[in-house]
Structure 1
Amino acid sequence: MTGKVFGGRYEIKDRIGIGGMAEVYRAQDSTLGRVVAVKVMLPQFAADPSFTQRFRQEAAAAANLQSPYIVNVYDWGQDDETYYIVMEFVRGSDLKTAIQQRGAINQRKAAEIGSQVCQALTVAHNQDIIHRDIKPQNIMVQPDGNVKVMDFGIARAKNSVNDKTSAVLGTAHYISPEQAQGKDLTAASDIYSLGIVLYEATTGKLPFDGPDAVSVAMQQVKDEPAAPSSINPNIDPDLEDIIMVALSKDPARRFATANDMRIALMDYLAGRPVTLPAGAMSSSFTEAQTRMMGAVPGAVPGMTSTQVMPTVAGGTAAMSPSSTGNFQATNFHDANTKKSKKPVIIALCAILAIALVAGIAFAVTGGFKPAAPADEPIEVPSVVGNTEQEATFTLEQAGFQVQITTKEDESVDEGTVLQQDPAGGTKQQKGATITLTIAVGPDTVDAPNFKNMTMDDARQAAEDAGLKVVEAESKYSEDVAEGKIISQSPAAGDPVKPGTTIEVVTSRGSELTTVPNVIGMTEEQAIDKLQSEGFGADVKAREYSDKQGEGRVMKQDPLNDKVKPGATVQITISKGPEPEPEPEPEPAQPSNPGTTDPGTTNPGGTTDPGTGGGSGSGGTTDPGNQGGDTGTTTPSAN
């Protein structure tokens, strides 16, 4: 997969993870010059319409969820029958890895993580989107400590027609009882899953475990989890209460919304009394009641004051402590039991003693002084100059609500509190809202990375980001191809104001070098010479030459020119001098006109019948020498 390009712009670099439906890769977006994460559906699911529909649904669902605690989705598409989603690349590690490496994490950190996940879920639930797979593997903890909730792979609109068909999708260790049973799901299902995440984060262990997913799912439906404090005795009772409320089997007994759970977690972090749903059973309070009250005399044997009485025939049912949220001890007496007068006498004596002490105090002090009203104003802390996070924590810890506004101001660090209203030092009712004005820099965008882009591509990328780009200069480069961008100013990733012009340096390619002269060298020497200086060599032809011996270079192209390093030089090899042509054969000579001697024929003369030899030019052949000896003639007697 490495090197594959999706959508013409996302080049795969390496794989960073694999899930149940897809693999996730780190990739480079060549258009905007940024690192992204690309989720590619596994081949076995790509041909299944139900899975591809769910995969597309993730992109659509997550793209509409805008929150600093949700991974951004940038793009999605189909490539060679494979579907992919392009997402924000988040640096850090998932919460599951942290738990596996360190066991239980700091409980305040766990609460902060839970609060941020609640904010992410609130955004999703407000758009009727249920995540369905909240688990520590899907919670990325960034280097700054903030989290990103990811993987809306099985997220589904609350009223989707196919809701039931995928209700049980999820991870068995983290699914809600109703999800395990395939029931219609609400936001309460995500709250239950987050409760398990916090349980695991604060104890280092899961509330339910087993040999297989089915057995774990059955425990989710039927079994009650052990109290977190039975595993981690140091856990704060308030945080334990929050976790146990989230883990209620009945969705109606959990927090009504993710925001309600966030408020409870913020109460815990600020040291305020934790706000629990009406009817939620506080574990710490219940245990305290049990220790103080014990068994009530006259009660049914074995039954404590915190237990619920059954319905009595002809009467009314005893009220469940969970039905009103009030945890009052109730004395249950047998109607036929004779009441002793002794406790009454003791009580009267106690009352008289108290009255006597009160009378003495009244006399000494000169009368009662009015008690301070419960709603007496309290001083507002001064938080100007603090960071937004520090100021919010301080004010909430003091019991105030916080509202944020922003103001552009480059004279201080971004995120600093510029003003507060009401001012620090004034007195306000507890619960009043304090408005903080936070310094922000001018609206900025990150400068795209233009390196290796052509100018046309860079102009388009700059336009998409609301910026401009100009070519400042061009220079030779051994690394960057001709016509592409070498560097830029401001640098890639720097925050710049919209409309900023970014200057770029383009490449003229490699600097030209002179081709060596290899004429006269042997073929082998010429090729070695050219290649050693970074050129290619190509034998173009072999021709005859009177100047160069056979096997030597007689011509080259180019010669004494400057070319780019690596250019190919064509050479022509000599075949040596051209050989002399073979002489053509002479044509046959025609006969001389005259008389013919039956003996020897002599062109140009006559034949002597008596001698049997022909006469030469101006003489005759010696009759005694038939045909005559070469070079010897006898003068004619005539």
Structure 2
Amino acid sequence: MEQETLVYPLANNTVLQDKYTILNVLNAGGFGITYLALDNPNSRYVVIKECMPDAYAYRDMETGFVHPRDEQTAVNFAQSISNSRQEASVLAQLSHPGVVQVFDMFDANGTCYYVMENIQGQTLFDLMTTMHATGQSMEPARATDLLFRLLDILHYLHAMGVYHCDIKPGNIFIQPDGTPKLIDFGAVRTKTLQHQGLVQITPGYTPPEFYPGRRSEIGPWCDMYELGATFYELLTGQVPQPADQRSVVDRNPKVTGYAALRQTYPMNFLSGIDKALSPDERNRFHSAKAWNDYINAMAAAGTLQAGGVARKALPKARKKSSAGTAFFILLLIAAAAVWICWKQGLINF
């Protein structure tokens, strides 16, 4: 049947929980559908995410109800709903300007939903695509500021025992004032929930420990790898070599190896990206603070300003010798005497 092979979104003007009116579809991915909606009691626009894994479920268009495709996929569908609830539950406990805010969560139509703030702006992926297509690059000051802001967000998350585990340009939203906000916590992990739920593999961004057969402990170093991969693509226009391949033979060029980048960006900024992208998690930064401190420690060495902006050290001015100064004064006096004598006609040239 057609309805069992295609995923249909909720119709526009559908009302959920007697207060949310669906306006239109924002995005339909493999695991869910996001809608722009009107929160009628609060007179505000919101984004609603519906758990709708197209591989495991379909919608009955007459009732709007979501059903598992068959008995075999019913287990996977139930797990997807559990993952979505976990994502919403984790987000609801967070309060940071760099993390998307969750207002509400509920079950309906045989699946689950959660309601988020409606963010203005564009994803870093869209911004990068435009820049690379037009031959532009992000200014050093803006790039380092973006890195520090994202490290601040991750420092907060990790202190809360939360790991995003799917950092990439498409999951970083750049608001009109330039400040970033992390979105899509569908692969989120916590200190207590290490290996439950969806394992999101994005080649080039996902660290080696997420691949099958590498079920090592998940921690801040995983997010550091993905953030490093994000800035690698931002600077080079290339996605890093997939981590499972790098674990065997690492052919990924380092950003510090690009002469054009060395001429544009400070070395502490570039070398930090290379360190974060190490296939061996032991060689990466193990916290957002460690990466932040690494940049500022190099800055304190004297050639780089904190914040990652290059600043040349000015040489000290040389002191003139007292003998040289005296000679210069005598020369001025002699010249003045000659000029006076010439004006009085005492000497002729």
What TM-score results when the alignment is normalised by the length of structure 1? Answer: 0.40
> Over aligned residues, Cα RMSD in angstroms?
2.6
Task: Pick closer, same or farther for the CA change 1:262–1:167 going to 2, 3 Å.
Answer: farther
| C-alpha contact 2:207 2:226 (8 A) present in aligned 1 | yes
Q: Residue 255 of structure 2 contacts residue 271 of structure 2 at CA under 8 Å; is this kept in 1? A: no
Alignment gaps of 5+ in structure 1:
209-215, 276-363, 365-638
Match of 1:32 among 23, 38, 42: 42
Query: How far apart, in 2, do the equivalents of 1:269 and 1:18 lie?
Result: 44
What are the Cα deviations for residues 137-193 of structure 1, in whole angstroms up to 9, with x where unaligned? Answer: 000000000010011111021232xx3355742322211111123332111000010
CA–CA distance in structure 1, aligned partners of residues 266 and 239 of structure 2: 18
Q: Is residue 2:271 matched to residue 1:241? A: yes
Deviation at 1:40, TM superposition (A): 1.2
Q: Find out whether 1:177 has 2:208 as its counterpart.
A: yes
Q: How far apart are the structure 2 equivalents of 1:89 and 1:269?
A: 38
* Deviation readout 1:334-359 (Å, 9 max, x if unpaired): xxxxxxxxxxxxxxxxxxxxxxxxxx
How far 1:264 moved relative to its partner?
3.9
Q: Which residue in 2 is equivalent to 1:14? A: 24
Return the offset for 1:88: 0.8
Aligned to 1:66: 95
Match for 2:147: what amino acid? G
CA contact (8 A) 1:114 1:265 kept: no
- When Rg is computed on C-alpha atoms for both structures, the one with the higher figure is 1
Distance in 1 between residues matched to 2:27 and 2:297, nearest whole Å: 36
- Give CA deviations for 1:61-113 in whole Å, capped at 9, x if unaligned: 11111111111111111111131110011100000111111124223322222
* CA distance 1:81–1:249, change in 2 (3 Å): same
Residue pairs, 1:416-455, within 5 angstroms: none
Shift of 1:236: 2.5
Residue 229 of structure 2: which of 196, 207, 210 is its match?
A: 196
* Equivalent residue for 1:260, pick from 267, 272, 290: 290
Between the aligned partners of 1:69 and 1:88, the Cα distance in structure 2 is 12
User: Contact 2:151/2:288 (CA < 8 Å) preserved in 1?
Assistant: yes
1:123 matched to 2:152? The reply is no
Is the CA contact 1:167–1:179 (under 8 Å) kept in the aligned structure 2? Answer: no
CA distance in 2 between counterparts of 1:43 and 1:122 reads: 31
- The question of 1:145 aligning with 2:178 is answered yes
More relative contact order in 1 or in 2 (CA 8 Å, sep 6+)? 2
Distance, in Å, in 1 between the alignment partners of 2:79 and 2:221 is 25
Change in CA separation of 1:13 and 1:264 when aligned onto 2, cut-off 3 Å? farther
Counterpart residue type for residue 202 of structure 2:
T
Q: In the alignment, is the contact (CA less than 8 A) between 1:168 and 1:182 conserved in 2?
A: no
Q: What corresponds to 1:219 in structure 2?
A: 245
Query: Are 1:114 and 2:147 counterparts?
Result: yes
Instruction: Report if the CA contact (8 A) 1:11-1:29 is conserved.
Output: yes
Matched ranges for 1:64-463 at <5 A: 64-103=93-132, 104-160=137-193, 163-164=194-195, 166=197, 168-180=199-211, 181-208=214-241, 216-222=242-248, 223-231=250-258, 232-233=260-261, 234=263, 235-265=265-295
**3-state DSSP class of the match of 2:94?**
coil
Asked if 2 retains the 8 angstrom alpha-carbon contact of 1:107 and 1:202, the reply is no
Partner SS for 2:203: coil
SS of equivalent residue, structure 1 residue 55 = helix
Q: Give the count of matched residue pairs.
A: 268
Structure 2 CA distance for partners of 1:106 and 1:271, relative to 1, 3 Å: farther
Say if 1:115 and 1:265, in contact at 8 Å, map to a contact too. no
Query: Who is 2:52 aligned against?
Result: 42
| Distance verdict in 2 for CA 1:43–1:204, change over 3 Å | closer
Q: Secondary structure at the match of 1:25?
A: strand
Aligned partner of 2:72 in structure 1 is none
**Residue segments in structure 2 that go unaligned for 5+ positions in a row:** 1-10, 58-67, 69-76, 306-322, 324-349
Is the CA contact 1:191–1:246 (under 8 Å) kept in the aligned structure 2?
yes
Letter in 1 for 2:30: G
Paired position in structure 2 for 1:3: 13
Aligned residue for 2:247, secondary structure, equals: helix
SS in 2 for 1:164: coil
Change (3 A) 1:263 1:66: farther
Name the CA distance, whole Å, in 1 between partners of 2:286 and 2:93.
23
Identity of aligned residues (%): 28
- In 2, Cα distance between the equivalents of 1:164 and 1:224? 29
Whole-angstrom distance in 1 between the partners of 2:302 and 2:86: 41
* 1:191 to 1:8, Cα distance in 2 relative to 1, 3 A: same
> Per the alignment, do residues 266 and 60 of structure 1 end up closer, same or farther by CA in structure 2, a change over 3 Å counting?
farther
Q: How many Å separate the matches in 2 of 1:168 and 1:183? A: 13
Length-normalised TM-score, structure 2? 0.70
More helix by share: 2
Deviations 1:253-299 (A, max 9, x none): 22221122234456789996679xxxxxxxxxxxxxxxxxxxxxxxx
Structure-2 change in CA distance of 1:220 and 1:150 (3 Å) = farther
SS at match of 1:69: coil
State the match for 1:379 in structure 2: none
Q: CA deviation at 1:196?
A: 0.5
